[in-house]
């Protein structure tokens, strides 16, 4: 009998829809440095927020006010720029 794979579900901060973690973009704030990065390969540890890859959620995330903290992770201009470049691929 094969081991059952764990299904990691997360919630998009824009639309609130719950999806598989692999279907979302992860933005992580490092515990030690406090630096916020786009976590594409899911190897960074820290407080994270998730945004849908498809649809309007990623576009809405680009319009978020940089001073607005979502679950204590601030989406600043650098993250918005990285997110925009990711969406252009």
Burial 42-81 (b: 16+ CB within 10 A, else e): eebebebbbbbeeeebbeebeebeeeeeeeebbbeeebbe
Q: Is residue 14 included in any domain, yes or no?
A: yes
> Comparing C-alpha atoms, which of 36, 40, 35, 20 is closest to residue 85?
40
* Structural domain total, the chain: 1
User: Is residue 69 classed as helix, strand or coil in its secondary structure?
Assistant: strand
pLDDT band, very low/low/confident/very high, at 1 (cuts 50, 70, 90): very low
- The DSSP bridge pattern shows strands 73-74 and 9-11 to be unpaired
Q: Is residue 3 included in any domain, yes or no?
A: no
CATH number at residue 78: 3.30.1230.10
State the DSSP H helix or E strand holding residue 27, giving kind and residue range, or none if neither: strand 24-30
Q: Is residue 4 included in any domain, yes or no?
A: no
Q: Is residue 19 included in any domain, yes or no?
A: yes
Q: Which range marks the domain in which residue 29 is found?
A: 10-88
Q: Using one digit for the tens of pLDDT, what is the confidence trace for 34-89?
A: 888 888 887 888 888 888 887 788 778 777 654 455 556 677 778 878 888 877 76
């Amino acid at each position: 009998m094969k081991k059952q794979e764990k299904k990691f579900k997360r919630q998009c901060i824009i639309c609130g829809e719950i999806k598989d973690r692999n279907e979302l973009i992860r933005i992580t704030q490092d515990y030690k440095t406090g630096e916020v990065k786009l976590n594409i390969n899911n190897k960074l540890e820290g407080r994270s927020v998730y945004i849908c890859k498809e649809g309007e959620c990623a576009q809405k995330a680009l319009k978020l006010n940089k001073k607005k903290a979502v679950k204590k992770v601030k989406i600043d201009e650098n993250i918005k720029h990285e997110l925009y470049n990711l969406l252009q691929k």
